Structure 1
């Protein structure tokens, strides 16, 4: 599993101007079966995505995020080897 932590490099107003294409990108990540959960950080300094898949594919996908392309945010990708979950979240062990 991967934790994709994005941090805004530009203002929230600038992020809002690119939010629609970014959210299209997020929805495509869910459609591919890579994204499991996502949301904004509180306070709003960026966001977090929980993802599964191959690291190289995830890295390439992050590079194509409109937020990355337009310099709105940078990503930190952390790989987590999940060993224990509550019932129903076994998919995190992939």
Structure 2
């Protein structure tokens, strides 16, 4: 149905930067909030370990999905296309 992983970003020297990896929702489960539920759970858990989450995507559809969750399009972090500052999320 859906899968996603989170680990220390191997492209960063900062242990507080996590990388979202292998995030995928099967086509028949898309547009049913499955991806949103999974990503919300990953972000919630990530707050216990990381200050930043980064990811790399090559599709416009995925980029729009991540933007809804507050990910910013930016190549600030090596090997990534988007990042989310978890510290900023806590202050909101």
Length-normalised TM-score, structure 1: 0.30
Which structure features the higher share of helix residues? 1
Length-normalised TM-score, structure 2: 0.31
